[in-house]
Structure 1
Amino acid sequence: MQTPQYHTIAAAIEYISTHFLEQPDLETVAAQVHVSPFHLQRMFTEWAGISPKRFLQFITTAYLKQKLHETPNLLEAAAMAGLSAQSRVYDLFVTLEAVTPQQFRSGGEAVQIRYGYHNTPFGHAFLAATEKGIVSMQFLEAGQEALVLEQLRAEWPQARVSADEAFTAVLVSKIFNAKPGEKLHVMVKGTNFQVKVWEALLRLPAGSVTTYSRIAEYIGHPRAVRAVGSAIGANPVAFLIPCHRVIRKEGQLGEYHWGSTRKKALVGYEMSKVNETGEDAA
């Protein structure tokens, strides 16, 4: 879970994505990210379980359009996943609860929030949680540590907020190294509409994708596609509430609050874990 390794992987993903028409070989990509071909192949395979070339196939528009056709609606997607409709890559189950109306109005009065900064397979991240659940998880770029903490305090102005990386480290370990049947709880602060959208996202199985319009249809507001997009953009808990699985109907990945390259990494990583059973050659 070292951030420097993710930065190298992210640079490789971005280079391959922007030069895919040239079909760059492993040596070319390795030179661009300043590591040896052997090291890049090993690093990438350890991270994703497949080669960089195979990874790229998962995030191409053609492949994503195919995935959209495989799961025409959220109800079907959830049914296909059976009892594991909320499962993540490592059999991680996530449940969601909205704060009480009183907590919403009071700005989190009497709520104790502890936070920490940690390395993850997708870069540096900020996590904040109460005893009842995770309230925020944000992927960070360099220098954003103070900004995300300021945003948390603004969102929960009356809460007692304190640093406690020992507490949050346990949660981060569960997220990215979950044991079978591991469960995590998120506690969100949002409008009724936003909460409905976030609950719909939890119905998406790992390795699947859907569109904004399908989310809108699922929550009973088929014309509210733009509002759905806004709610997805306001998702306070990255990765666990999987807004990265929502893409454009044309099969393009689209925008992402924590960066388009990270979205490619998240989607491709999950698809590789679901679809691949062995290592591919470059």
Structure 2
Amino acid sequence: MLLMTNETHINYQRIEEAILYLEKNFQRQPELDEVAEKVHLSPFHFQRIFTEWAGISPKRFLQFLTVDFLKEKLEQSRNLVEAAESAGLSSQSRVYDLFTTLEGVTPQEYKLHGSGLRIHYGIHETPFGACLLAVTDRGICWLSFLATDEDPKGHIEAMKEHWHNSLFHQDQALTASFAERIFHPGATPATGRLHVFVKGTNFQLKVWEALLKIPMGNVTTYQGIAANIQNPNALQAVGSAVGANHIAYLIPCHRVIRKDGILGEYRWSPARKKSIIGWEMAKTETK
């Protein structure tokens, strides 16, 4: 199966390259003409595709990725949690109308590694490049982002290894409807919440459920997640569980950053993490 190449994919490559260039040269604040030349576009064309993608200008976008701004967002998130706790709420899930619900495999299913599951998958374009998306009758079971011009075979093999006793079938039409709901929720009629179906340990499930409670446009720390699952000393285990997440974007591990305001690593590249966080903040700040 070959990776689809279209204008959306090419434009995201240019946007990601521009974000990295702007960040690298942040101190001297390069002009629009210079950044456009870097990504081989006219200033007009670059400004247009970036604004269509993010809803704001490149310079405004970069402000969302500064350490000072991210530290401020971390403080806001911490205050939000404290407000929920002081109100006597047992879980942040009661504060937010969650977009995604989560179900884990049973202990017996865990032992069988997905035996008997029918998994349909497809490759789709997103605002953040191409992704491999897979679904079962019980929900979305895989979502991973592909690197620029990457052959998806490695991702497909990783998915098959994760669910290695399952039956796999490529079905672009079926998975396209899920991709549309995930990445363009306002473009389709509301059909209820999305459901994810995951395979992990009990501890991993607790961490992934905590990730689902982080609202779009917000960030938290590994310490924040550890506190949320009432295991404040399990920072290393929390980090491992965040890194083991196999459903990108929907289970928003990208919203976990370091307590010093540095974005840190991301399973699907630090550059994509910057793009997603900035894009989400732009969407929520401009509403």
Could you tell me the TM-score, scaled by structure 2's length? Answer: 0.90
Amino acid at match of 2:210: A
Residue 174 in structure 1 maps to residue 152 in structure 2: no
Matched AA of 1:97: E
Q: Which residue of 2 aligns with 1:94?
A: 100
CA-CA distance at 1:143 after TM superposition: 2.8
| Aligned twin of 1:140 | 146
Distance 1:182 1:12, change over 3 A: farther
Contact 2:119 2:167 in 1 (8 A): yes
| 1:237 match: secondary structure | coil
In structure 2, the partner of 1:85 is 96
TM-score normalised over the length of structure 1:
0.92
Q: Does 1:269 align with 2:275?
A: no
Q: Distance in 1 between matches of 2:53 and 2:221?
A: 27
> In the alignment, what sits opposite 1:280?
none
State the 4+ residue runs in structure 1 displaced beyond 3 angstroms: 73-84, 179-182
Q: Is the contact between residue 93 and residue 213 of structure 2 (CA under 8 Å) also seen in structure 1?
A: no
Listed as ranges, the matches of 1:19-38 within 5 Å are 19-38=25-44
Question: 1:231 & 1:2 partners in 2: Cα distance?
Answer: 32
Aligned letter for 1:226? Q
Q: Which moved more, 1:171-180 or 1:74-83?
A: 74-83
Report if aligned partners of 1:114, 1:161 keep a CA contact under 8 Å in 2: yes
Question: CA separation of 1:192/1:253 partners in 2, compared to 1, >3 Å: closer, same or farther?
Answer: same
The letter for the 2-side match of 1:272 is A
Q: 2:181 & 2:83 partners in 1: Cα distance?
A: 25
- Who is 1:105 aligned against? 111
Alignment counterpart, residue 254 of structure 2, candidates 239, 244, 260: 244
What do residues 229-274 of structure 1 show as CA deviations (whole Å, max 9, x unaligned)?
Answer: 1110111100000001000000010100111111011000010011
**Candidates 153, 163, 179, aligned match of 2:160:** 153
- Secondary structure at the aligned position of 2:209 is classed as helix
SS at match of 1:71: helix
Q: Deviations over 1:186-241 (max 9, x none)?
A: 00000001000000000000100000011011101111111111110111100000
2:77 counterpart residue number: 71
Q: Pick from 199, 203, 214: which aligns with 2:224?
A: 214
| One-letter amino acid of the counterpart of residue 163, structure 1 | Q
Task: State the partner residue of 1:190.
Answer: 200
Indicate yes or no: 2:268 matched with 1:258.
yes
1:194, 1:66 → 2: CA distance?
A: 28
RMSD of equivalent CA atoms:
1.9
Q: How many residues align?
A: 272
Stretches of structure 1 that go unaligned for 5 or more consecutive residues are 88-92, 278-282
